[in-house]
Amino acid sequence: MHDVSSLRRTPDAISPEVDDREPFASANLLLREALPVWMDQLCEEVLSVYRTTEVGQNDQGEPMRKAVRQYFSRLPDPSPESRTDSRERMAALYAQAGLDLAAHFEVSSRLFALIAERGTRRFSRQPHRLTSALIEIQRRLWEDTCLITEAFVRSRERHLGHLVKQFSMAQSELVKLAHDDALTGVRNRAYLLETLSVELERSHRYREPFSVLFADLDHFKQVNDAHGHEAGDELLRTIAGLLKRAVRPHDVVGRYGGDEFAIGLVRTNGAAARRIAERLRASVEAAHLPSPDASPAVTLSIGVVTMRDESEGVPELIHRADAAMYSAKAAGRNRVRPGPRRCIGPKS
């Protein structure tokens, strides 16, 4: 910042006497005389700080210049309501740029010092008018400083809320990418196995039944060969949607690999698991996928197993369910085959 002495100006011609009955008349007189002289330099001082910010380095500062000029040009108006828009706009720009309010406080203090110096010469024979004018100007600057600070905090809070929302959305997207199969939207293999382990452990702890379905599409290779991989991808998405809609929200549906899907059924014994598997098989058969006139139609072969004891982990369950699924394939496809049915919990 420059010394006050460097901005000294010769006082303008003495204006006509102002009615002392107006308490802010002298303040307005000083402001109207001083602001045109120093406006550009005051704006430049704010902009010099603004340009040190990341936002300020990437633009010419015209919105900031306009907001600062608008605010200072309205200072002669004693009504704070008349300066509301300019205060809000300037505070929002400060917050957006990450500009410390200290820059505004310093410029306001500098303006007051310049006006005080000018007033000393302007009212050299009327010290009471100088005192009342400076008190009024200081009151306006202080009132505006408080209101600008409030507007600045509100703007920063809104900006922070927006950033938190963006971060939350990005975090949700990262979680989705980490957990979901990119093609079908069901859980990917890694997260599927992790979730199955959690649910199996919970079932062990509470001695509740837990079942796994292992499903494989019949004739999927023929669909890819006859209709192309895009048709195959669309078919996988359709099947995944059917599976998700057919089970409960707390059950676990995931793509194990290729055209294989695994489903974890919590608190479900063997008999209930077989009924669910049969319902899934029938829904896919009734859908006539990939299209009503396509041949052969895609169906599901499903293996069903239920937890046998606490020593059995997810790999053993998947292995038994996979073997049961191949048994269904060997028996002619489009059917459900159970594995061993003994489990902890209600009799299956």
Residues 35, 95, single domain; the answer is: yes
Q: pLDDT 10s digit of each residue in the chain, 348 long? A: 444 444 344 444 334 444 444 546 888 888 888 888 878 887 887 777 777 776 666 665 777 788 888 888 888 876 767 777 877 877 877 777 777 677 778 888 888 888 888 889 888 888 888 898 888 888 888 888 888 888 888 888 887 888 899 998 989 888 888 899 999 999 999 999 999 999 999 999 999 999 999 999 999 999 888 888 999 999 999 999 999 999 999 999 999 999 999 999 999 999 999 999 999 999 999 998 887 676 788 999 999 999 988 889 999 999 999 999 999 999 999 999 998 544 444 333
Torsion of CA 93, 97, 101, 106, to 10 degrees: -90
pLDDT for residue 8: 41
Spell out where the chain has E strands: 210-218, 252-257, 260-266, 299-306, 336-338
Tell me if 306 sits within 8 A of 288, measured CB to CB: no
Considering the domain boundaries, does residue 201 fall inside one?
yes
How far apart, in Å, are the Cα atoms of 344 and each of 91, 205, 308?
A: 66, 11, 6
d(CA 155, CA 96): 8
Indicate if 145 and 218 belong to the same structural domain. Answer: no
Asked whether residue 269 is domain-assigned, the answer is yes
Secondary structure of residue 77 in the 3-state scheme: coil
> Containing domain of residue 253, as a range?
189-338
Decide: pTM greater than 0.75.
no
Element (H, E) at 27: helix 25-50
**195 and 92 share a domain?**
no
Residue ending a domain, choose from 141, 172, 203: 172
Same domain for 293 and 161?
Answer: no
User: Looking at this protein, which amino acid is placed at residue 14?
Assistant: I
Does the residue 162 lie in any domain? yes
Between 102-122 and 127-179, two packed helices, what is the crossing angle to 10 degrees? 170
Q: Please tell me the distance from the alpha carbon of residue 49 to that of residue 53, in angstroms, as a whole number.
A: 7
Question: Which residues, 6+ apart, have CB-to-CB distance to 273 below 8 Å?
Answer: 211, 212, 213, 265, 304, 306, 348
- Whichever domain contains 69, its CATH number is 1.10.490
Q: What is the domain count for the chain?
A: 2
End-of-domain residue from the set 145, 172, 199 = 172
Peptide bond into 296 cis (omega under 30): yes
Does residue 167 share a domain with residue 27?
A: yes
Gap between the Cα atoms of 333 and 327, Å rounded: 9
Return the exposure string of 160-177: e unless at least 16 CB atoms fall within 10 Å of the residue's CB, then b: eeeeeeeeeeeeeeeeee
Task: Note the pLDDT of residue 207.
Answer: 92
DSSP percent split of the chain into helix, strand, coil, nearest 5? 60, 10, 30
What is the sign of the dihedral through the CA atoms of 258, 260, 265 and 266? negative
Q: Are residues 193 and 156 in the same domain?
A: no
Residue type, 307: M
Based on the domain organization, do 218 and 251 belong to the same domain? yes
Three-state SS string over 267-315 comes to CCCHHHHHHHHHHHHHHHHHCCECCCCCCCCEEEEEEEEECCCCCCCHH
Q: What is the greatest pairwise CA distance in the chain?
A: 114
Same domain, 32 and 102: yes
Q: Is residue 86 part of a domain?
A: yes
Per this entry, what is the length of the chain?
348
Any domain includes 345: no
Three-state DSSP class for 203?
Answer: helix
Q: Is residue 178 part of a domain?
A: no
User: Residue 179 falls within a domain, yes or no?
Assistant: no
CATH number at residue 265: 3.30.70.270
53 and 28 within one domain = yes
Has residue 346 been placed in a domain?
no
Residues 232 and 298 both lie in one domain = yes
Q: How far apart are CA 48 and CA 30, in angstroms?
A: 26
User: Quick one: 152 and 226 in the same domain?
Assistant: no
Tell me: do 129 and 197 sit in the same domain: no
Domain boundary residue among 172, 202, 231?
172
